[in-house]
Structure 1
Amino acid sequence: MSQEFAARHQLTFSENRLHGYPPAWNQPAFQQGFVSLLADQGLTLISGDDAASFLHGQISNDVERLPQNAVRRAAYCTAKGRMLASVLYWKTEQGIMLQMARDLQASTQKRLQMFVLRAKAKLADCNEQYVSIALGGAQAHAAVQSWFPELPADGEQRSNAAGTLIRQDGVQGLLRLIWICPVALADQAWTELSAQLAVCNSSDWYLSNILAGIPHIQAATQEKFVPQMINFELVGGVNFRKGCYPGQEIVARSQYLGKLKRRMALGQVATPDLAAGMDVYHADHPEQACGTIVNAENAGADSSLILFESTLADQEAGILHAGSPDGPVISLMPLPYAIVDVTRD
C-alpha cells in the first residue's frame, strides 16, 4: 500500500494493516456491508510456458489441472513437510498469481526462484501493480456490480479489466470478497466502496477468517506446522493424489500412517494481548507448552479470537492457557467444519 494512497484517502496503517475504526466483526454493520484493505498480503505472479508445471511441483495442491475460474489454497513446505507459507492461487491471463503474507513473500519468492532452473517460468513481485481490497456483507454485491456484474461462486474468481474478484465465504452465510484491484482504478474503487460500505479495520477481515477456521502462516509461525496440524487439508489446501513436491512424503505419511495427534482448534480468550507464535499450556502439565497460537486477533477491548494448534488429548480434557502456564484461559468454540480423519476411526 503506497503512502500516497493512504494520504489521499486519509487512512491510517500500522504494519501494513488498516486500523483506527471501532471493531466491527460482530456488529450488524459488518453483516450489512464492509470494506477494508489487505496491504499485509503480497502478490507474486508466475508467468511463462512452464508456470503451471513448475508451481505444481512446488506446492501441496494441484496446479496443472486448475480450472480457469478456481481459487485454491496450498502449502509451500520444507523437505521435512513444515509450512514455509500458506498461499492462495489462481489463473490470470498473464500466468498464475499467488497471494501470501507480505512478511513471507520476498523469502518465498526467492526460494521458489532457486528451483526454476531450466523451466520456462518467471516470478515477479506485483505489489506495486494492485491494491488488495476486502469487502463483504449483504450490500457488497451491489457495491461492486458496475465492475463485476456477476459474482463468482464460493471458492472461485472472476477476472476482467477491473482486476480479479475472489469469493471466500465460510462464515455463517456471510458474503466475503477479495478484490485484486489495479492501481490505476484503486482510487475510484475505494472512494465509491467506502461511500457505500462501512470501512473497517483489516483485523475484522482476519477475525472472520478465524471464525471460518482458515489459518494463514506468517513469519512468527514459519516452519512450525505440517499442514494437517492446522487443518489445512480440511480447508482445501492439500491434494493427496497429485505428484511430488517438497515435503510431500512427510505430509502423506502424516495422513496415512498412524494417527494424527495434533490439530487446530478455535478459541476465545479474555485478553487483547495475544499474537501468532505464542505458546499454549495445559493446566495439568504446565512445565512444557502443549501447543502454539496459529493466528490471533483482538476482538474487542478485553478479548481475542485465536486459532491454535495442540494435541487432541489436551483439547478434549482439562484447562488450556494462552501465552504462559498461568495465562488467560482459552474457551473452546466450535469450528465451522468437522475434523474428519482417514487415520482416526
Structure 2
Amino acid sequence: MKERWKKFLLDAGAEMDNGRVLHFGNPERELRVATTGNVLSDLNHLGLISAHGADAATFLQGQLTCDIRDVTDDSSLLGASCSHKGRVLTLFRLFRRGDGYYLQCAAELVEETLKRLRKYVLMSKVTLEDAGSAMVRFGYLGPEADRHLSELLGKVPEEVGSVIQTPDLLVVRLPGTQPRFEIAGSLEPACKLWESLNAWAAPVGAEAWRLQSILAGVPEVYAATSELFVPQMLNLQVLQGISFIKGCYTGQEVVARSEYLGKQKRRMFRAFAPAADRPDPGTDLYAPGSQSGQGPGKVVDAALAQGGGYEMLVVAELAAVEAGGMRLGDAEGPELEFRELPYALPEKA
C-alpha cells in the first residue's frame, strides 16, 4: 500500500491492521449500509501482480483458464491458474493498463503465485512483479453508484466486466446485486475521486466488501483453499472465467473433461449459517449419509452478515444439498440455509 494513500485513509478515520482496513469506526453500521446504500471500500486487502513484456500475453495465455485476448483496455475477466490436475491454485481478476496486464488475487497468495509462475517464464520476454503499491485501488457500490461515477467521469462501464479508462484512472464494472465498481489509478486523482464520492457514500472496511462479493456469488481462493477445486466447482464457467476454445494451458485437459464428460457432482452454492465464529475458508461441511471420501463439501468464503451469522459461498455435493440437513463443521454444527445465487447455472450442473 502506498504510504500516502494509507495516511489518506487514516485521516479519513480508517482502523487498519497489517494494511487491511477493518472499519471506519462503526462496523455494524457499515454492514447494514453496504446492503442498502452507497459505500466506498479500500481494496488493498487484495494483492496485485503485474505482467509486462513483449511475450506477456502469450505467457499468460498458456497459464490461465480465461482467454487473455479478451482482456483489453475495454474489458476485464476472471481467470484462474491451475495445477496439472486442473485444480485452481490462484483466482484472479485481470485487467489491462498501458502496456501491462494486472492480476488481482488474495494478498496472501501473491508471493507463492509469483514464485510458481516465474518457473514457467524460461526464455519468454515477460516480467512478473508484485504491483500492490503500483496504484491505488478502491471499490464503489450502491443503488446510485453508476449515476455518481457517470457524473464525475463523464461515462461509466455498462456491462459486467467492461472497463473505462482515463489518463489517470481505470474503472471496472464488477458482478453485484447492485451496481458495483473497482477504481484503480494514480494517487492524487484517486484521492480526489474518493473525496467527491464520499459526499454520497459511507466508507466501509474490507469485511463489507467481502460480503458484497459473496452476495454476488463471486468466489475468492485463499491459501487454505488453493488446489481444492476445479474451476467449474467455483462456477467460473458462468462467471466468464473459463474459455473452452482458447487452446492449451496448464490443467486444460482436466478442466475440459470436467465440462464435457459426465455430470458435475459438485458446484458452488450460497448459504447462510447462524454461527457464532467465522468459518475459515476450507472448513469442512457435514451431511448425514454422505459416503464421499472427499466429504460433502467445504467453505469457499464467509463474511459476517447483517444481524449476525455468516453469509457464505460453499462448494458442496449436489446430492447432499438435495438430501438436506447439511451442517457446518460436524454433526453438531449449525445447519446451513441455502440461498439463491444472482445468476443461473447450466442445467447439467
TM-score, structure 1 as length reference: 0.91
Instruction: Give how far 1:38 is off.
Output: 1.4
Query: Could you tell me which of 208, 220, 242 is aligned with 1:238?
Result: 242
Query: Could you tell me which of 106, 111, 116 is aligned with 1:106?
Result: 111
Instruction: Give how far 1:68 is off.
Output: 3.3
Partners of 2:38 and 2:10 lie apart in 1 by 24
Partners of 1:311 and 1:141 lie apart in 2 by 37
Q: How does 1:159-174 map to 2 (within 5 A)?
A: 159-171=165-177, 174=178
- Find the counterpart in structure 2 of residue 292 from structure 1: 298
Partners of 1:196 and 1:181 lie apart in 2 by 21
Query: Could you tell me which of 311, 320, 326 is aligned with 1:320?
Result: 326
1:47 to 1:321, Cα distance in 2 relative to 1, 3 A: same
Listed one character per residue, the Cα deviations across residues 60-113 of structure 1 (whole Å, up to 9, x for unaligned) are 010134343111011111111111111011222121111111111121122112
Listed one character per residue, the Cα deviations across residues 245-283 of structure 1 (whole Å, up to 9, x for unaligned) are 111111111111222111111111112422211111013
Contact 1:23/1:200 (8 A) holds in 2: no
- Find the counterpart in structure 2 of residue 304 from structure 1: 310
Instruction: Give how far 1:138 is off.
Output: 3.1
- Find the counterpart in structure 1 of residue 140 from structure 2: 135
Partners of 1:58 and 1:183 lie apart in 2 by 31
1:95 to 1:261, Cα distance in 2 relative to 1, 3 A: same
Q: How does 1:205-244 map to 2 (within 5 A)?
A: 205-244=209-248
Contact 1:23/1:201 (8 A) holds in 2: no
- Find the counterpart in structure 1 of residue 88 from structure 2: 83
- Find the counterpart in structure 2 of residue 120 from structure 1: 125
Instruction: Give how far 1:116 is off.
Output: 1.2
- The alignment status of 1:278 with 2:278, answered yes or no, reads no
Q: How does 1:29-44 map to 2 (within 5 A)?
A: 30-44=35-49
Query: Could you tell me which of 255, 260, 267 is aligned with 2:271?
Result: 267
Farther off after superposition, 91-100 or 287-296: 287-296
Listed one character per residue, the Cα deviations across residues 313-341 of structure 1 (whole Å, up to 9, x for unaligned) are 00111201112221001001111222215
Instruction: Give how far 1:142 is off.
Output: 4.9
Partners of 1:169 and 1:64 lie apart in 2 by 21
Contact 1:23/1:204 (8 A) holds in 2: no
1:122 to 1:297, Cα distance in 2 relative to 1, 3 A: same
1:314 to 1:91, Cα distance in 2 relative to 1, 3 A: same
Listed one character per residue, the Cα deviations across residues 269-307 of structure 1 (whole Å, up to 9, x for unaligned) are 112422211111013359974110001001135311001
Aligned length: 341
Listed one character per residue, the Cα deviations across residues 117-143 of structure 1 (whole Å, up to 9, x for unaligned) are 111111122211222211111333454
Contact 2:175/2:218 (8 A) holds in 1: no
Farther off after superposition, 78-87 or 28-37: 28-37
* Unaligned residue ranges in structure 1 (runs of 5+): none
- Find the counterpart in structure 2 of residue 55 from structure 1: 60
Q: CA RMSD in A?
A: 2.3
Partners of 2:133 and 2:72 lie apart in 1 by 27
Partners of 1:162 and 1:67 lie apart in 2 by 17
Partners of 1:140 and 1:101 lie apart in 2 by 25
* Unaligned residue ranges in structure 2 (runs of 5+): none
- Find the counterpart in structure 1 of residue 339 from structure 2: 333
Aligned-pair identity (%): 33
Instruction: Give how far 1:24 is off.
Output: 5.4
